[in-house]
A = this chain, B = another copy of it.
């Protein structure tokens, strides 16, 4: 998605340790018009997928997820993060390790909002090591729901998240794919569309 790549180039900050800071339009300050385009692009790509529900994780996933939900006209559920293990009967819970913050969080979704009848599209802001997405997939499996695909705003192709999903033939569509940081500059993969795989039927 050219518009997003331009925004990353002009507004993203590359920090030591391969950290890309995009808090001026995605993570803290949000650009709603860009998020609307993000939602439209996910809809264009996953157009044929019979999505009944969109799942994400608070807080940075919410903006891209709700605009995508708006395009699909389906509800969006955002998993809540918890420090402690307060397992409750009425919640699906999974553990997510954050490599950035070096802590484990629990994420949970109320059982009443996800069932075996649901066909789910996961939307998240970043795919790096894939821990958040793995946590959501765990919850989808607990519910017996069907996973149709994963939509990511920014992917770091050099970290293991994408590989983990490809191995299990899960359709992943990332709007910006970063293959490296060189001299403080972002290098995107060249073959965006080709690497997106086929559409979900």
Contact = CB atoms under 8 A, between A and B. Distances in A.
Given A23-B110, A110-B23, A32 B63 contact: no
Interface in A43-93: 58-59, 62-63, 66-67, 69-70, 73-78, 80, 83
A76 B110 contact: no
Which of A25, A35, A66 is the most central at the interface, judged by chain B CB atoms within 10 Å of its CB? A66
A4 to B, nearest CB: 16
Given A32-B70, A32-B73, A59-B59, 18 more contacts: A28-B109, A28-B113, A29-B113, A30-B66, A30-B76, A31-B75, A32-B66, A32-B74, A32-B75, A33-B73, A35-B70, A36-B70, A58-B58, A59-B62, A59-B78, A62-B63, A63-B66, A66-B67
A6 interface: no
Contacts of A141: none
A24 interface: yes
A44 to B, nearest CB: 17
A76 B32 contact: yes
